[in-house]
Amino acid sequence: MQKPSRALLVLFLVCLLWRTIESRHTWQEAFKVLGISWNKDGTLNRSILIPMEDPSPYADSDPPPKALSQDIYLSANSKAYVRLYIPVDPPKNRKLPLIIYLHGGDFVLYSASTVIFHNFCNDIASDFPAVVVSVEYRLAPENRLPAAYDDALNAIFWVQNQALGVGGRDPWLEYADFSRVFLLGSSAGANIVYHAALRALDFDLQPLKIRGLLLNQAYFGGLKRTPSEIRLIDDQYVPLYVNDVLWSLALPKKANRDHEFCNPISGGTYLGRVFRLPKVYIKGDFGDPLVDRSILLAQFLASCGVPVYYRFNPGGFHGIELQNTTAAQQLYNDIKWFINDNYGLEMPQGITSLHASM
């Protein structure tokens, strides 16, 4: 028998080590990290609760709100709602871009009213300024994908009905420019934005015009590990074993991580629609284990002729803009440029367009 080569021996040892690394954690450990446990009825008990924030519909509240906000239920028979934001003193002489926002939380956690996402939308509504529609979507595993995509699409239809005046229009949406609609999402929210936008291509949304998608640290995956996932296997914010459990909770039963909901470049029903997408902004950080997924998506979209603008920062971590004011301001500046780039604003330093090699 021929002796195995040194390269094969090294490969065998690496694979053995990799299997050991992946098997050293359990579902119970992942559940403990996430602060979740099973209820007897198959639902989740979510014990780690970030504070929720009530809407602030009145400018004379104490303390004064940064932006005005209100919750609007989409159906009398449903818990589905959107949280609508406008500046405290919206301009009277021009319409504002309308941003539909999908929050993060790995499909399993959090809400549109979670304080970190509420504050994020307050900042966008007041500082840009813009009208923001933050979507409360159903969580997994009680409602596995594509439930969140359906909820996002229903929110888009609600905005369309507001534009058409079906059943009357909320006075706050009089400030919105329905011809300048953008879909913005972070983490799982960015995944939802991508899939909801592809689904929306099947419908006539007039008079809405979705001008672009903004994907911040998008939550995608796949069966084959990427270099960033291997390099950051025990990342503080997205450890790989926790990530695997989250996908097991979110995906349809019996689906693996190469399902199109998780791995958007693996094939599936959406690929024929991708070339019809509007321009896309993609932001990632090299300290985030998921960053390679965003790089692969940017390359894929560019190959399909989609206008892509991307920023990949050195260092950082998943969710950095929620903890670091400098990172948050950079993201705000990028979003503001992206939604206004037809108005002569210079591209921010660090953003690269579709035409440059990655």
Residue 26 lies in a domain: no
- The CATH number given to whatever domain includes residue 283 is 3.40.50.1820
170 part of the active site = no
Catalytic entry in 56, 187, 228, 294:
187
303 part of the active site = no
Question: What does the pLDDT average to over 65-79?
Answer: 89
Catalytic entry in 288, 292, 294, 334:
288
Residue 19 lies in a domain: no
pTM for the whole structure: 0.91
What confidence tens digit (pLDDT) does each residue in 4-39 have? Answer: 444 433 333 333 333 333 447 899 999 999 999 999
Residue 64 lies in a domain: yes
Residue 311 lies in a domain: yes
Catalytic entry in 103, 118, 259, 318:
318
Residue 176 lies in a domain: yes
Mean pLDDT of the chain: 90
Q: How many CB atoms lie within 10 A of CB 118?
A: 24
What confidence tens digit (pLDDT) does each residue in 93-124 have? Answer: 999 999 999 999 999 999 999 999 999 999 99
Residue 83 lies in a domain: yes
pLDDT of residue 13: 33
103 part of the active site = no
Residue 12 lies in a domain: no
293 touches 221 (CB < 8 A): yes
- Would you say how long the chain is, in residues? 358
Total number of domains in the chain = 1
Question: Which residue segment(s) compose the domain that 243 sits in?
Answer: 55-354
Residue from 164, 90, 155 nearest 129 by CA: 90
Q: Give just the sign of the alpha carbon dihedral 332, 338, 344, 345.
A: positive
Residue 132 lies in a domain: yes
pLDDT of residue 34: 93
Output DSSP code: residue 203: S
